[in-house]
């Protein structure tokens, strides 16, 4: 039986190879997985032209996935350096990489990325439009923008972020609203400018059905971007954000009617006490579609440490039902992240995702922690290093400060609680002198 997308296959009762791989990774019954995909509650972003992909599922009952943003810009256009980041991100086993390149002819980098990456690949075609078309923003036509989206799909991009929910009506509200940071989404700001300069409706919203034609042909997952996401905690959960979210819910149904898979993108910056309510709103208004958030960052005052403010929000968001976390690095708001920034962002986001998975009782999450605790009780340092989320850093810290007694560390030495209790339980002598 033929099918066009993973959702189409699921609705026809077909178990695809991608479904089998994801079910095995997640230890979930493949029939249950197929049912969740048919309802739109799980997506498997896997473009037909991405031959190197190892498929991952995003959504209900699955592990929280993480995304890493990479790409070249006008000020930092070293392709080799970005490819080194790609290789490192793959080595660190991230599930997703977004190519946010926004300068020059980016296709060469995108082609190399898709060829080498087992992780799913996302992009924001709007970022690429100016360089790809070599035209000023105002002069880009709707048809040309569709051509850029088509090119990304043909190249093998697994999901595309499109800011289709920012209609003229929403834009008018932004202009008359007392938002502190207006529009902080790069793609959203570009579309806002295009709409104002040309006095026209959002071309992504207007041509949404044509975009679905492209996505259906290549099985590209639509990630409905939140152009109006809050850029500071003052703006979170305001009427502009919610108005756009309502539109995204309507677009979700239109995509599902065409068997196109959908994710919903969310905030942003947000006070910690609003996170749970935002997850509930997204799941309700967007019909339980998988939720993908940037952070959220729970305070605005920590440039240089925003991987931490993001991890705090990400852990809570994941625990309340968010399915996909976009990493934030220490360089957020300051510059393009370097290799070390990327590593720190990945680790912080992995910690947040795992913390959420424990709360959601995702299969295997608690077992990982229990194995670590057992190794600590037994003072089995080699096993601890194998289990920890960043073995290199753990080993480095251990080597930098060696204890007199190898079964302890330099914090407590012979007064190590694990060591003391272990000796007592084994009827051994406890000598602290």
Task: Indicate if the pLDDT at residue 432 is higher than 90.
Answer: no
Task: Indicate if the pLDDT at residue 133 is higher than 90.
Answer: no
Tens digit of pLDDT for each residue in 6-16? 999 999 999 99
Task: Indicate if the pLDDT at residue 1 is higher than 80.
Answer: no
Tens digit of pLDDT for each residue in 273-283? 999 999 999 99
**Three-state DSSP class for residue 315:** helix
Least confident of 70-79, 182-191, 393-402: 70-79
CA distances from 374 to 193, 219, 336, 367 (A): 57, 44, 40, 10
Q: Rounded to an integer, what distance in angstroms lies between the CA atom of residue 149 and that of residue 145? A: 7
| DSSP classification of residue 269 | B
CA distances from 96 to 42, 67, 338 (A): 15, 4, 18
pLDDT of the residue at 387:
97
Q: Is 172 annotated among the ligand-binding residues?
A: no
**pLDDT > 90: percent of the chain:** 87
CA distances from 395 to 317, 348, 351, 380, 382 (A): 31, 18, 18, 13, 9
Give the tokens for residue 289.
Answer: 């579609």
Q: Is 363 annotated among the ligand-binding residues?
A: no
Tens digit of pLDDT for each residue in 197-208? 999 999 999 999
Q: Is 269 annotated among the ligand-binding residues?
A: yes
Task: Indicate if the pLDDT at residue 181 is higher than 80.
Answer: yes
DSSP calls for 171-230? HHHHHTS--SS----HHHHHHHHHHHHHT---HHHHTHHHHHHHHHHHTPEEEE--TT--
Kindly indicate the confidence band of residue 169, based on its pLDDT and cuts at 50, 70 and 90.
very high
pLDDT of the residue at 106:
85
Q: Is 271 annotated among the ligand-binding residues?
A: no
Task: Indicate if the pLDDT at residue 101 is higher than 80.
Answer: yes
User: Residues 207-235: what's their mean pLDDT?
Assistant: 97
Q: Is 120 annotated among the ligand-binding residues?
A: no
Q: Rounded to an integer, what distance in angstroms lies between the CA atom of residue 94 and that of residue 392? A: 17
Pairing of strands 58-59, 42-43: antiparallel
Which residues lie below 8 Å from residue 42, measured CB to CB, with a gap of 6+?
A: 33, 36, 57, 58, 59, 60, 61, 62, 290
Task: Specify the pTM.
Answer: 0.95
For 6-359, CATH gives: 3.20.20.540
Kindly indicate the confidence band of residue 114, based on its pLDDT and cuts at 50, 70 and 90.
very high
Q: Is 318 annotated among the ligand-binding residues?
A: no
Q: What are phi and psi of 98, to 5 degrees?
A: -105, 130
Q: Is 182 annotated among the ligand-binding residues?
A: no
Coarse DSSP helix, strand, coil percentages of the chain, rounded to the nearest 5 percent: 50, 10, 40
Tens digit of pLDDT for each residue in 321-359? 999 999 999 999 999 999 999 999 999 999 999 999 999
CATH 3.20.20.540 domain span(s) along the chain: 6-359
Task: Indicate if the pLDDT at residue 406 is higher than 90.
Answer: no
Q: Is 179 annotated among the ligand-binding residues?
A: no
Q: Is 412 annotated among the ligand-binding residues?
A: yes
Give the tokens for residue 249.
Answer: 């819910």
User: Residues 95-112: what's their mean pLDDT?
Assistant: 88
Contact 225, 170 (CB under 8 A): no
Contact 90, 119 (CB under 8 A): yes
Q: Rounded to an integer, what distance in angstroms lies between the CA atom of residue 302 and that of residue 378? A: 39
Least confident of 169-178, 225-234, 389-398: 169-178
Task: Tell me, rounded to whole angstroms, the distance of Cα 151 from its chain centroid.
Answer: 23
User: Residues 306-333: what's their mean pLDDT?
Assistant: 98
Q: Is 154 annotated among the ligand-binding residues?
A: no
Q: Is 226 annotated among the ligand-binding residues?
A: yes
Contact 264, 286 (CB under 8 A): yes
Give the tokens for residue 226.
Answer: 């939140």
Q: Is 228 annotated among the ligand-binding residues?
A: yes
Q: Is 205 annotated among the ligand-binding residues?
A: no
Helices 125-133 and 142-155, packing angle to 10 deg: 110
Mean residue pLDDT across the chain: 95
Q: Is 428 annotated among the ligand-binding residues?
A: no
Tens digit of pLDDT for each residue in 31-90? 999 999 999 999 999 999 999 999 999 999 999 999 999 988 788 778 889 999 999 999
Kindly indicate the confidence band of residue 19, based on its pLDDT and cuts at 50, 70 and 90.
very high
- Higher-confidence residue of 157 and 134: namely 157
Q: Rounded to an integer, what distance in angstroms lies between the CA atom of residue 277 and that of residue 210? A: 33
Task: Tell me, rounded to whole angstroms, the distance of Cα 191 from its chain centroid.
Answer: 22
CA distances from 91 to 118, 397, 398 (A): 10, 21, 23
Q: Is 292 annotated among the ligand-binding residues?
A: yes
Kindly indicate the confidence band of residue 96, based on its pLDDT and cuts at 50, 70 and 90.
very high
Q: Is 265 annotated among the ligand-binding residues?
A: yes
Report the length, in residues, of the chain: 433
């Amino acid at each position: 039986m033929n099918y066009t997308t993973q959702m189409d296959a699921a609705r026809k009762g077909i178990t695809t190879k991608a479904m089998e791989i994801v079910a095995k990774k997640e230890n979930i019954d493949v029939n249950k997985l197929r049912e969740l995909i048919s309802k739109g509650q799980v997506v498997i972003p896997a473009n037909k032209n991405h031959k190197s992909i190892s498929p991952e599922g995003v959504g209900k009952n699955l592990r929280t996935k993480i995304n890493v943003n990479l790409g070249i810009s006008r000020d930092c256009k070293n392709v080799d350096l970005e490819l080194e980041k790609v290789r490192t991100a793959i080595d660190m086993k991230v599930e997703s990489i977004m190519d946010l390149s926004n300068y020059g002819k980016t296709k060469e980098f995108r082609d190399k990325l898709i060829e080498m990456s087992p992780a799913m690949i996302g992009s924001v075609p709007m970022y690429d439009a100016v360089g790809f078309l070599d035209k000023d923003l105002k002069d880009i036509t709707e048809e040309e923008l569709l051509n850029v989206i088509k090119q990304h799909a043909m190249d093998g991009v697994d999901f595309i972020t499109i800011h289709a929910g920012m209609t003229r009506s929403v834009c008018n509200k932004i202009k008359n609203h007392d938002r502190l940071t207006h529009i902080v989404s790069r793609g959203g700001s570009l579309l806002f400018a295009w709409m104002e300069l040309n006095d026209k409706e959002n071309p992504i919203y207007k041509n949404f059905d044509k975009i679905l034609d492209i996505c259906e042909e290549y099985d590209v997952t639509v990630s409905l971007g939140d152009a109006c996401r809050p850029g500071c905690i003052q703006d979170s959960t305001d009427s502009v954000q919610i108005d756009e979210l309502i539109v995204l819910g309507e677009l979700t149904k239109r995509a599902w009617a065409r068997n196109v898979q959908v994710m919903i993108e969310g905030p942003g910056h947000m006070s910690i006490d609003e996170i749970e309510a935002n997850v509930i709103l997204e799941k309700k208004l967007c019909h339980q579609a998988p939720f993908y958030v940037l952070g959220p960052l729970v305070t605005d005052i920590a440039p240089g440490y925003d991987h931490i403010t993001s991890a705090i929000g990400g852990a809570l968001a994941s625990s309340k039902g968010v399915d996909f976390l976009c990493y934030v690095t220490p360089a957020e708001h300051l510059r393009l992240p370097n290799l070390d920034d990327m590593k720190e962002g990945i680790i912080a986001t992995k910690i947040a995702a795992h913390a959420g998975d424990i709360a959601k009782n995702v299969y295997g999450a608690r077992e990982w922690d229990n194995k670590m605790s057992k190794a600590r009780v037994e003072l089995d340092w080699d096993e601890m290093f194998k289990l920890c989320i960043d073995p290199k850093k753990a080993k480095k810290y251990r080597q930098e400060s060696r204890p007199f007694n190898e079964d302890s560390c330099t914090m407590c030495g012979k007064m190590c609680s694990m060591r003391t209790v272990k000796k007592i339980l084994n009827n051994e002598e406890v000598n602290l002198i």
